[in-house]
Amino acid sequence: MLPDQDGPSGGGGTQGVKEDPAVSLFREYLQLKTVHPEPDYDAALKFLTRISEELGLPMKKIEVCPGRVVTIITWTGTNPAVKSVLLNSHTDVVPVYQEHWKYDAFAAVKDAEGNIYGRGSQDMKSVTIQYIEAIRRLKAAGKRFPRTIHLSFVPDEEVGGHKGMETFINHPEFQKLNVGFALDEGLANPTEAFTVFYGERNPWWITIRCPGSPGHGSRFVENTAAEKLRRIINSFLDFRASEKQRLDTSECFTLGDVTTVNMTMVNGGVAYNVIPAEMDVSFDMRIPPTVNLQEFEEQIKAWCAEAGEGITYKFAQKFMHQNTTSTEDSDPWWNAFSSTCKAMNMTLQKEIFPAATDSRFIRAAGLPAIGFSPMNCTPILLHDHNEFLNEGVFLRGITVYERLLLTLASVAPQKGEE
Ligand code: MET
Ligand SMILES: [Zn+2]
Ligand SMILES: [Zn+2]
């Protein structure tokens, strides 16, 4: 049969059955073009304003930078003096190569299997709607909890978070939230298990400038920029190969446990027959929290010194905090989280997040944060073509958050909280 292309109802997976309103809301949110480089944040704000009215919960808008608004929806607890639970999600999504997609990446098409296609279906518009729907259900059931629950909806995560969470975390309005524990995004898991992230690799984005002697393209000029560039590239890519080897030969390592290095840009030169006075190369590096960052930078310095005279580097991104969140049974937040999952017969795999999320700013502020997107039995398709999530997996995730909030928002007050 034909996929359901034009409306929130129907779809082969649930043929003849009216679509769950939560799924319809998810599909509606996927259709908002909050896509870089010019995200329609106004559309997201309008959507969230409606949600706040539907839920009957107050909303606060904090413009952290011009045109960049963080939205907070709050469900105040019965003991608002104790620390709150923060459910964070970003509203922006990465661009698409539409020609590689089966369907319009912003049409939220649901196919015969109930798979919902759209940019953001995994990263992370699903999670946003799951948080909202879990709150809606708990409210409708007349529940109240001691701890306040805040939902934060932040812009610009996908471009580094500078005009989003990085600024918000230092804003007085963030302090006022009195956060004790945060949930943020994770990754899908193709198996029955769910992956949870207790830390992240540190993103370092570096550009290395290689100066050299210019001259005529027909000569053997000494000390050229290209020769230095080649040595730099060799050092970085040799290290890349050794880290890949370490990952490939280890039984227990995941991507989050080794350093990745990728050469992502090269620049320089003006003409075929002019030896350039300088050439630049850029790398995206992701460094596990167990690596000594000072020593790692010394290694980079050594590679530059070995490659020739006058080589300089600068960072476009150099995250230095290496906090991880406790996953000890004695930790009340982890205990609440993991015991709830266990009670639901969910298998958890604890890992270091291989990329970066806004959780890194939360952890850097000294707060515990767990990265978790309840998507098991799902291929990892974030930032990829044909990103999708099955509606059954999506709906099950709402129940997971419902149960998680029951316990997290009821964690007993800790020493010093009251
Ligand atoms: C390093 S900024 C974060 C952007 C994106 N989430 C990434 O990991 O690449
Ligand atoms: Zn994301
Ligand atoms: Zn992303």
Fold of the domain built from segment(s) 202-288+290-318? Alpha-Beta Plaits (3.30.70)
Distance, CA 367 to ligand 3 centroid (Å)? 22
Q: Exposed, middle or buried by CB within 10 Å (0-12, 13-18, 19+), for 23? A: buried
Which residue, by CA, sits nearest to atom 2 of ligand 1? 160
Question: What is the domain partition of the chain in residue ranges?
Answer: 21-200+324-409, 202-288+290-318
Question: Could you tell me the pLDDT band of residue 323, with boundaries at 50, 70 and 90?
Answer: very high
Q: Count Cα neighbours of 302 within 13 Å in the Cβ-side half-sphere.
A: 7
Residue 156 Cβ inside 6 Å of ligand 1? The answer reads: no
Q: Could you say which of 3.40.30.10, 3.40.309.10, 3.40.630.10, 3.30.70.2660 is the CATH number of the domain covering 21-200+324-409?
A: 3.40.630.10
Averaged pLDDT for residues 364-386: 98
Question: Could you tell me the pLDDT band of residue 17, with boundaries at 50, 70 and 90?
Answer: confident
Which residue, by CA, sits nearest to atom 4 of ligand 1? 158
Distance, CA 379 to ligand 2 centroid (Å)? 16
Checking if the pLDDT of 116 tops 80, the result is yes
* Higher pLDDT, residue 416 or 327: 327
Rounded to two decimals, the pTM is 0.93
Question: Could you tell me the pLDDT band of residue 5, with boundaries at 50, 70 and 90?
Answer: very low
Nearest-atom number in ligand 1 for the CA of 158 is 4
Q: Taking CA 47 as the corner, what is the angle to CA 42 and CA 48, rounded to the nearest 5 degrees?
A: 100
pLDDT of residue 15: 54
Q: Has 329 been labeled as part of a binding site?
A: no
Checking if the pLDDT of 11 tops 60, the result is no
Question: Could you tell me the pLDDT band of residue 183, with boundaries at 50, 70 and 90?
Answer: very high
Which residue, by CA, sits nearest to atom 7 of ligand 1? 356
> Do 153 and 91 meet the contact criterion of CB atoms below 8 Å apart?
yes
By DSSP bridging, strand 388-390 and strand 179-184 are unpaired
The DSSP secondary structure of 194-247, one letter per residue, reads EEEEEEEPEEEEEEEEEE---EETTS--SS-HHHHHHHHHHHHHHHHHHHHHHH
Which residue among 163, 187, 357, 358 has the greatest number of ligand 1 atoms within 8 angstroms of its CB, and so is best to mutate?
Answer: 357
Checking if the pLDDT of 45 tops 90, the result is yes
Task: Just list the catalytic residues.
Answer: 92, 157
Checking if the pLDDT of 365 tops 80, the result is yes
Averaged pLDDT for residues 11-26: 79
The overall average pLDDT reported for the chain is: 96
